[in-house]
A and B are shown apart, each in its own frame.
Chain A
Amino acid sequence: MSYVGWILITGSLVGILCGTIGCFLILRKMAMLADAISHTVLLGIVAAYLISQSMQGIYMLIGACLVGLLTAFFIQLLDSSGVQADAAIGVVFTFLFAVGIILISLYARNVHLDVQHVLMGEIAFVPWDTWEWNGYSMGPKAVWMLGTVLIINLILITLFYKEIKISSFDPQMAIALGIPVTFIHYLLMGMVSVTAVASFDSVGAILVVAMLIAPGATAYLLTDRLSTMLILSAVIGVLSSILGYYAAAYWNVSIAGCMATAAGLLFGLAFLFSPKHGLVARMLAMRKIKINPPA
């Protein structure tokens, strides 16, 4: 497999992974919670490094997952003790992120964990960081990690599809039906944390938010069916990655940044030209009403 091939595969995996999870975040109005978690994952990674003294993927995943769940839990806690919802998110994630940065500047100065890398990711280095097994090169570590998380996420989504769907669209009914709404909430938050940390190496903490939200939001403007939305969102995620990579290669700029920009552009197109929910379609519909007012 060529260098470019691995990058495209990594980007596409990030696109599919973030795209599918992102749909639920948008439907449940938890986009900013995802933003919070993708920031606090930093603390999880630093803590995992400090405790285990190694940069192995599995420790990072566990640490990130724990801190991600903790973030969701703290926000919930503040929320239920009467703090305004948006302020609760803001207080919790900035605090945990600040602690993460302080820990880095105190202890982890001379490791690979520089903050720049953490925020922006470096997908260009992914193909060189390969996994050796019995002397064979098995391809980049990041691809294995993303692949594993993708399979876990897909299994969880198919297992709990009905439950997630009902609790996303109608939480009251979900409670009435006896669906464990809280469990589903934390399940999703756990999936978001794991997704964030797996995508971390490639796209960094803040741009993973773009990959989480933009494809889902674009798909949301294009369809009214959840199953279609999930597939569309994954496709748009992959498309943003590929477009982003080639734009970045052409102008010789940050790949992750270009992926986020491409995702934003695709959203802009859907916002304007979506057949049903787009701005143009809406305006045409308005004009039709003005010309032939309904009786």
Chain B
Amino acid sequence: MWTQLVTILSDPNTQWVLSGTILLGIASGVLGSFALLRKQSLIGDAMAHAALPGICLAFLLTSSKSIAWLLLGALLTSLIGSYCIQIIVRFSRIKQDTALGLVLSVFFGIGIVLLTYIAQSGAGNQSGLNTFIFGQAASLVGQDVRIISGVALVLLFITSLLFKEFKLITFDPEFAQGLGLPVRFLSGLLMLLIVAAVVVGLQAVGVVLMAAMLITPAISARYWTDNLAKMIVIAGGIGALSSVSGVILSTLAKGLATGPLIIVCATVIFLFSLFLAPQRGLVSKLIRHYRVKQSIAKSRGQLAAGWEEHKGVEL
């Protein structure tokens, strides 16, 4: 078992994949925590889908599969998507969830149209673009990993630099406004960071599952602490841990997709946290509930006994 693990880890290809997905796991865990607390978890899902037309457009315009251009295109349409959601909610009676679903599916539809257009226009081999839909962590090469790592490090750096500001606009935007912080700019920046994390993750886990990289580690971390700084560290750790275990599991059998395995590992960690976390976990809640019940039963028994004792006494 141990030697097997060592052979897996000493494979240079696996090392590339691991280092890319670990950094990705950390960055999306950290930014996902902010998204979760701002009740914007599912926006990551919509952004991931809205990236598809951008990837296709970038390919059509530059006719190169250079990852930097594709990611830039993805970033652009994702931001347009998030802007559309805000506009729809603000200027009509459509609610947030409907606007999310609408933007997600319509942008994805446009993406599919462009994908088929590229395929039949003979503008080149578009097979590389398909990997963005499901992600292909196992086929990440040096160039991709360098970009993923670079972006992830920049995201982490900006987040640590502006941690206090982000914390304030997450929990008490009115107060932040009162302090004179540029709240709209900061929310916009945070959104940009989240979208950037989503976009670099597409290649590894794909459009559909990228949402889980943001949501699952963050919601698991929420069970272990009430402190934001601790929460983002734990979420980053859980993201990294699920990436490592997903990548290792996927090397065990041929044809196992890495992205989905990462998500399954993250969900297992979530279930573990849901049940067994010390304070907020379901088991400890049940125990507390049982203890309270016991103590109520006990004091009720004492009361009843006291009542029996003094029944005959005239007051």
Contacts and interface: CB of A to CB of B under 8 A. Distances in A.
B105 A214 contact: yes
Interface stretch (A65-73, A114-122, A125-133, A183-191): A114-122
Interface stretch (A8-16, A27-35, A44-52, A136-144): A27-35
Mostly, the B contact residues are helix
Contacts of A101: 134, 257, 259-260
B51 interface: no
10 contacts: A29-B98, A81-B282, A89-B42, A90-B45, A95-B212, A97-B260, A102-B256, A102-B260, A253-B114, A267-B106
A277 interface: yes
A59 interface: no
Given A87-B41, A264-B106, A253 B120 contact: yes
A260 B264 contact: no
Interface string A70-86: 00000000100111101
B111 interface: yes
Contacts of B49: 206
B92 A90 contact: no
Interface residues of B, number: 59
Nearest to B96: A29
Contacts of A116: 130
A35 B212 CA distance: 14
Interface in A240-273: 248, 251-254, 256-261, 263-264, 267, 271
A288 interface: no
Contact of A260 (B95, B105, B117): B105
A39 B110 contact: no
B208 A83 contact: no
A84 B219 contact: yes
Given A86-B41, A91-B219, A31 B100 contact: yes
A91 B212 contact: yes
Contact of B209 (A89, A94, A213, A277): A94
A166 interface: no
A278 B136 CA distance: 43
Contacts of B114: 253
Contacts of A97: 208-209, 260
A106 B92 contact: no
B39 interface: yes
